[in-house]
C-alpha cells in the first residue's frame, strides 16, 4: 500500500507542476480529482504512510492554534527605497565606485504582499516563515502548503539546503471575491489585497486558507555553494527545480534601461492581476553582491523604486450614509467627478466614524483621493488652503436616516450599527437579497430588482413571506428601474415571470439545512461556519438552545460568532420567522442520512479534544458525534474524558489531572469506538 501512496503522491505532484508552473496540464481535471480522491482515501486508511509532500495538504484541514516563532537562517533584510530616478543614479554611482568591474543590474517588480521565507531540505518544503522582525518570524507552513504554485517537493539537482524568498500576494479577482463574501456576513472588508493576504496567512484553519486563492512571486534564492553565479540565472535554476518564476525580470546595464523598465511598469501595472508598488533594482553578479555587503538594515546591492500613489484633489459634494444588511453604517463621500488612474471617481468610502474624525473633513472641502497599490480609491487627506470659512465639520449621524433608530457604536469596534434589524428598510431588503442569493437559497428567479418591488409593495417583509406569495397579488405589478448610467427599464410581473418566481421559491424548500442556516443571515456566520455549525448541531432547535460555551466547541466558532448566534436566537422577530419557515417546509435540520449514528458508545459523554491528531480536529469531533458523544470546549468536572493528540497544551493536561478527568490517546479512543 505504501508504494501506491508514494506513486500517487509523485504523480499528483508532477501533474500539479504541469498545471500551475508549466501551464500545460496533461490530464483532465476529472482524472486529477479521481487520483486525488484515491490518495485521500488511502491516507485516511493508512495515515502512517502519508508522505510529507502529499498533495492532499493543498486543501488544508490542519488547525494551527498558535503560530510558533522560529529564527531565520539568514536574516530577512528590507530594501532601501526611493521615489526618484536621481537617487537610483546615485545608487548606481555608489555601486560602481565600490567595485572593480562594472556592475550589471536586474530589474524586477516590487510585489505588494507579505514576505515569506521557504526552507527546503533534501528537496522537501520544510518550513515557511513570515518576515517577523527580520531575525525571527511565524511558522505558517501548514497554510503556505495550500498555495498551489509553491512546490512541496523539488525536481532535479537541487541542493540539500535551499531557502527561497518571495512575496505572498492575493490576486485582484480573489480579493474582490473575498471582500464580497465578508460584506455579505457583516464583516469589515479588507482595505487592500496586502492586508487580505496577511490576514489569510494567519488564519488558524488551513482549509480556509486554501479557499482564499493566495499566490506567491519569488525574488531571492539563498544557500551555500549554489549552482549559479548571477541573480538572473537563479531564476533558471528555480524553474528547473519546479518553482513558478516571474516572467517580468529583466537585465539592465544602464540607468536609461532601468528608467525605461520603471516607466513601462508604472503604466502597465494596472493590467497586472496583482498589486505591485514599485520596481526593485539588484546587482546581478552574486560575487559583486557579496563584495558590496549590507548595512544593518539593507543590502547595498539592491534598491527599491516606489511608484508614487496617483492622487488628485476634488471637491466634496455631500456625504451619504448607507446601511448594509447587518445594520453597519458606511459613510460615502459624493465627489465632483475626477479622472484618476484611468477611471472617473465619483464616490469613495469614508469607512467609519473614526476615519471621518481623523481626517477632520468639513463641508465643501477639497479632498485628496488616492489610488496607490489598492484598486479602490481612498480619501487620504484635506487640502486645507482651499477650506472655506465658517464651514461645518462633517458630522456622523446619530440616528438612522431610514428608520430613525438611535445608532449604536460598541467600545473597541470601528463600526456603527442601526440596531433595528427587523424594521429598518435597507436592512430588511438586504436580508431578503441575501436570503435568495446563489450561495444561500439560490432563488435566481427573484433577482434583478424584484425584491425591491415585492418589499415596496408590502408583499414581503421577511424571508418567510416569500413562501406565501400568490399569483393574484403578483400579476401586473410594475416598476421603473433607473440604472447607474441613467438608463431606464420597466420590469413588470407577467404570467411567465410570476410562474418562474413561484417555482423557484417552491424549489428552494429542497435546499439543505446548512445553506438555510447561512441564508437566515446571522451576523458573522458565513458559508463555512454555517456548514460546520449545521453538521455539528444537526437541527435549528439544537442551535437555538445551545449556550455560548456549547457553540464554541465548533472549530470555527469563537467568542464573537457564538455571541452573535445566541443573540440572533434571543430575538423574538427571528424566532417568529423561523417558526413560519418551518410551517412552509424549508429544511431546518439535516436529513435522515446525516442524522444516523454509527453507535451509542459515547452517549451522554462530554468530551474535550486537545492537540493535533492524524485526522483534522473537525473530523475528530464529527467522529465523537457519530458515536453519540458531545463535544465541549473546556475541561470542567462534568467532562467525562479528554482525547489528547500531539502537543496537547500543558495547561489543559494539568487541569484534567487536577479534576481527575481521564485522558485518552487517539488510539485508545479509536479502540473504544471500534
Ligand atoms: S529583494 C535582501 N525583491 O519588499 C533583499 N524584495 O523592503 C530582499 N519585495 O521585505 C528583498 N518585491 O518583502 C525583493 N522583487 C523583490 C520584491 C521584494 C517585493 C518586498 C520584500 C521586502 C520588501 C523590501
Say if ligand 1 is within 6 A of residue 301 CB: no
Neighbours of 385 (CB within 10 A): 6
Atom 14 (ligand 1) nearest CA: 219
DSSP H/E element including 660:
none
User: Does the beta carbon of 108 lie inside 6 Å of ligand 1?
Assistant: yes
Distance between CA atoms of residues 513 and 595, nearest Å:
12
Core vs surface per residue 232-252: b (16+ CB within 10 A) or e: bebbebbeebbbbbeeebbeb
271 has pLDDT over 90: no
Distance from the alpha carbon of residue 79 to the mean position of ligand 1, in angstroms: 6
- Residue 205 CB less than 6 A away from ligand 1: no
Task: Give yes or no for residue 594 having a pLDDT over 60.
Answer: no
CA–CA gap between residue 518 and residue 534 (Å, rounded): 9
Residue nearest to ligand 1 atom 23, measured at CA: 78
Rounded CA separation 97/358 (Å):
47
Range from 23-27, 500-504, 584-588 carrying the lowest mean pLDDT:
23-27
**CB distance 302 to ligand 1 below 6 Å:** yes
- CB under 8 Å to 370, separation ≥6 — which residues? 309, 310, 311, 377, 378, 379, 380
- Ligand 1 centroid to residue 168 C-alpha, Å: 11
- Regarding the beta carbon of 293 and ligand 1, being less than 6 Å apart is answered no
pLDDT at position 128: 97
* Best probe residue, ligand 1, of 80, 91, 304 (max atoms within 8 Å of C-beta): 304
DSSP 3-state of 484: coil
Nearest CA to ligand 1 atom 22: 78
Is the predicted pLDDT of residue 95 greater than 90, yes or no? yes
Using CA atoms, how far residue 629 sits from 228, 553, 657, in Å, is 59, 13, 21
Instruction: Please work out whether the CB of residue 78 comes within 6 Å of at least one atom of ligand 1.
Output: yes
| Ligand 1 contact, 543 CB (< 6 A) | no
Write down the pLDDT at residue 349: 85
Q: Which residues contact 486 (CB under 8 A, 6 or more apart)?
A: none
Residue 251's pLDDT is 97
Determine which residue's CA is closest to atom 21 belonging to ligand 1.
115
Of ligand 1's atoms, which has the minimum distance to the CA of residue 299?
2
213 burial level (CB within 10 Å; 0-12, 13-18, 19+): middle
- When pLDDT is averaged across residues 373-384 and rounded to a whole number, the result is 80
Q: Does the beta carbon of 167 lie inside 6 Å of ligand 1?
A: yes
More confident residue, 207 or 234: 234
Residue whose CA lies nearest to ligand 1 atom number 2 = 77
Q: How many CB atoms lie within 10 A of CB 662?
A: 11
Beta strand spans in 205-352 (E): 215-222, 250-252, 276-283, 302-306, 310-323, 329-340, 343-349
Mutate to test the pocket of ligand 1, among 110, 198, 284, 293 (most ligand atoms within 8 A of CB): 110
159 C-alpha to center of ligand 1: Å?
23
Q: Kindly compute the dihedral angle of the four CA atoms of residues 626, 627, 632, 638, in this order, to the nearest 10 degrees.
A: 160
Strand ranges (DSSP E) for 207-328? Answer: 215-222, 250-252, 276-283, 302-306, 310-323
Ligand 1 midpoint to CA 78 (Å) = 6
Highest-confidence segment of 15-29, 389-403, 410-424 = 389-403
The verdict on the CB of residue 115 being under 6 Å from ligand 1 is yes
Atom of ligand 1 nearest to the CA of 294: 2
Atom of ligand 1 nearest to the CA of 298: 2
Q: How far is the CA of 280 from the centre of ligand 1 (A)?
A: 7
What is residue 299's three-state secondary structure?
strand
Ligand 1 centroid to residue 585 C-alpha, Å: 57
Query: What are the tens digits of pLDDT across the range 306-337?
Result: 998 788 999 999 999 999 888 999 999 999 99
**Catalytic residue numbers, as ranges:** 110
pLDDT band at 480 (very low <50, low <70, confident <90, very high): confident
Sign of CA dihedral 49, 51, 55, 60: positive
Pocket test for ligand 1, best of 75, 78, 296 (most atoms within 8 A of CB): 78
Q: What is the mean pLDDT of residues 285-291?
A: 96
CA 228 to ligand 1 centroid distance, Å: 20
Distance 282 CA to ligand 1 centre (A): 10
The half-sphere exposure of 331 on its side-chain side, counting CA atoms within 13 A, is 23
Identify the band that residue 544 occupies on the pLDDT scale cut at 50, 70 and 90.
Answer: very high
Give the Å distance between the CA of 479 and the centre of ligand 1.
55
What spacing in Å lies between the alpha carbon of 220 and ligand 1's midpoint? 8
Strand order of the sheet with strand 662-665? 630-631, 606-610, 641-644, 662-665
* Bridge-based pairing state of the strands 343-349 and 136-138: unpaired
373 pLDDT higher than 60: no
Alpha helix positions (H), 412-571: 425-436, 450-456, 471-474, 495-507, 513-519, 527-537, 540-545, 548-551, 559-569
Whose alpha carbon is nearest atom 15 of ligand 1?
Answer: 110
- What is the predicted pLDDT for the residue at 484? 65
Q: Which residue has a Cα nearest atom 18 of ligand 1?
A: 110
Residue with cell 488558524: 204
Atom of ligand 1 nearest to the CA of 78: 7
In this prediction, residue 157 has a pLDDT band, given cuts at 50, 70 and 90, of very high
Pocket lining: 283 vs ligand 1, CB cutoff 6 Å:
no
Amino acid at each position: 500500500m505504501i508504494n501506491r501512496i508514494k506513486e500517487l503522491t509523485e504523480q499528483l505532484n508532477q501533474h500539479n507542476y504541469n498545471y500551475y508552473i508549466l501551464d500545460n496540464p496533461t490530464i483532465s481535471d476529472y482524472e486529477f480529482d479521481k487520483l486525488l480522491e484515491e490518495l485521500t482515501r488511502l491516507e485516511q486508511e493508512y495515515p502512517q504512510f502519508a508522505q510529507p509532500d502529499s498533495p492532499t495538504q493543498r486543501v488544508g484541514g490542519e488547525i494551527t492554534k498558535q503560530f510558533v516563532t522560529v529564527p531565520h537562517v539568514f536574516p530577512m533584510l528590507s530594501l532601501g527605497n526611493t521615489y526618484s530616478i536621481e537617487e537610483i543614479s546615485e545608487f548606481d554611482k555608489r555601486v560602481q565606485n565600490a567595485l572593480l568591474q562594472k556592475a550589471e543590474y536586474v530589474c524586477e517588480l516590487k510585489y505588494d504582499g507579505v514576505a515569506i521565507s521557504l526552507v527546503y531540505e533534501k528537496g522537501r518544503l520544510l518550513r515557511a516563515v513570515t518576515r517577523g522582525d527580520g531575525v525571527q518570524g511565524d511558522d505558517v507552513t501548514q497554510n503556505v502548503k495550500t498555495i498551489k504554485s509553491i512546490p512541496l517537493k523539488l525536481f532535479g539537482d537541487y541542493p540539500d539546503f535551499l531557502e527561497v524568498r518571495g512575496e505572498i500576494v492575493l490576486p485582484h479577482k480573489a480579493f474582490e471575491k473575498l471582500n464580497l463574501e465578508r460584506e455579505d456576513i457583516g464583516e469589515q472588508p479588507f482595505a487592500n489585497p496586502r492586508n487580505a493576504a496577511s490576514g489569510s496567512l494567519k488564519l488558524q484553519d488551513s482549509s480556509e486558507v486554501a479557499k482564499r486563492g493566495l499566490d506567491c512571486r519569488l525574488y531571492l534564492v539563498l544557500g551555500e555553494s549554489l549552482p549559479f553565479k548571477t541573480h538572473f540565472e537563479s531564476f533558471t535554476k528555480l524553474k528547473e527545480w519546479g518553482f513558478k518564476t516571474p516572467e517580468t525580470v529583466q537585465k539592465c546595464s544602464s540607468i536609461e534601461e532601468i528608467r525605461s523598465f520603471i516607466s513601462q511598469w508604472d503604466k502597465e501595472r494596472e493590467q497586472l492581476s496583482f498589486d505591485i508598488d514599485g520596481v526593485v533594482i539588484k546587482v546581478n553578479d552574486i560575487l559583486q553582491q557579496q563584495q558590496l555587503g549590507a548595512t544593518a538594515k539593507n543590502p547595498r546591492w539592491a534598491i527599491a523604486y516606489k511608484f508614487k500613489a496617483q492622487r488628485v484633489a476634488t471637491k466634496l459634494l455631500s456625504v451619504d450614509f448607507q446601511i448594509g444588511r447587518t445594520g453597519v453604517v458606511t459613510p460615502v463621500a459624493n465627489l465632483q467627478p475626477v479622472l484618476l488612474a484611468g477611471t472617473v471617481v465619483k464616490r469613495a468610502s469614508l469607512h467609519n466614524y473614526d476615519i471621518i474624525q481623523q481626517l477632520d473633513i468639513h463641508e465643501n472641502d477639497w479632498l485628496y483621493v488616492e489610488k496607490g497599490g489598492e484598486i479602490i480609491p481612498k480619501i487620504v487627506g484635506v487640502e486645507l488652503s482651499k477650506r472655506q470659512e465658517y464651514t461645518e465639520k462633517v458630522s456622523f449621524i446619530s440616528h438612522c436616516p431610514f428608520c430613525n433608530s438611535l445608532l449604536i457604536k460598541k467600545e473597541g469596534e470601528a463600526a456603527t450599527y442601526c440596531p433595528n434589524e427587523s424594521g429598518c428598510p435597507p436592512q430588511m431588503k438586504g436580508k431578503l437579497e441575501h436570503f435568495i442569493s446563489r450561495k444561500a437559497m439560490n432563488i435566481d428567479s427573484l433577482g434583478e430588482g424584484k425584491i425591491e418591488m415585492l418589499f415596496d409593495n408590502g408583499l414581503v417583509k421577511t424571508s418567510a413571506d416569500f413562501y406565501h406569495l400568490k399569483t393574484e397579488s403578483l400579476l401586473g405589478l410594475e416598476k421603473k428601474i433607473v440604472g447607474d448610467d441613467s438608463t431606464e427599464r420597466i420590469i413588470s410581473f407577467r404570467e411567465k415571470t410570476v410562474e418562474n418566481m413561484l417555482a423557484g421559491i417552491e424549489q428552494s424548500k429542497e435546499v439543505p439545512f446548512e445553506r438555510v442556516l447561512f441564508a437566515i443571515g446571522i451576523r458573522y456566520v458565513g458559508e463555512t461556519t454555517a456548514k460546520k455549525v449545521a453538521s455539528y448541531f444537526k437541527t435549528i432547535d439544537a442551535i437555538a438552545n445551545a449556550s455560548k460555551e456549547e457553540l464554541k466547541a465548533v472549530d470555527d466558532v469563537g467568542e464573537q460568532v457564538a455571541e452573535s448566534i445566541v443573540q440572533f436566537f434571543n430575538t423574538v422577530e427571528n424566532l417568529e420567522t423561523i417558526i413560519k419557515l418551518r410551517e412552509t417546509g424549508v429544511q431546518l435540520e439535516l436529513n435522515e442520512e446525516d442524522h444516523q449514528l454509527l453507535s451509542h458508545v459515547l452517549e451522554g459523554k462530554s468530551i474535550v479534544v486537545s492537540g493535533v491528531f492524524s485526522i483534522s480536529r473537525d473530523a475528530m469531533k464529527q467522529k465523537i458525534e457519530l458515536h453519540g458523544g458531545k463535544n465541549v470546549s473546556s475541561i470542567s468536572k462534568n467532562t467525562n474524558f479528554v482525547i489528547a493528540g500531539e502537543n496537547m497544551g500543558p495547561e489543559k493536561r494539568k487541569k484534567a489531572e487536577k479534576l481527575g478527568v481521564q485522558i485518552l490517546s487517539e488510539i485508545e479512543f479509536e479502540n473504544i469506538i471500534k
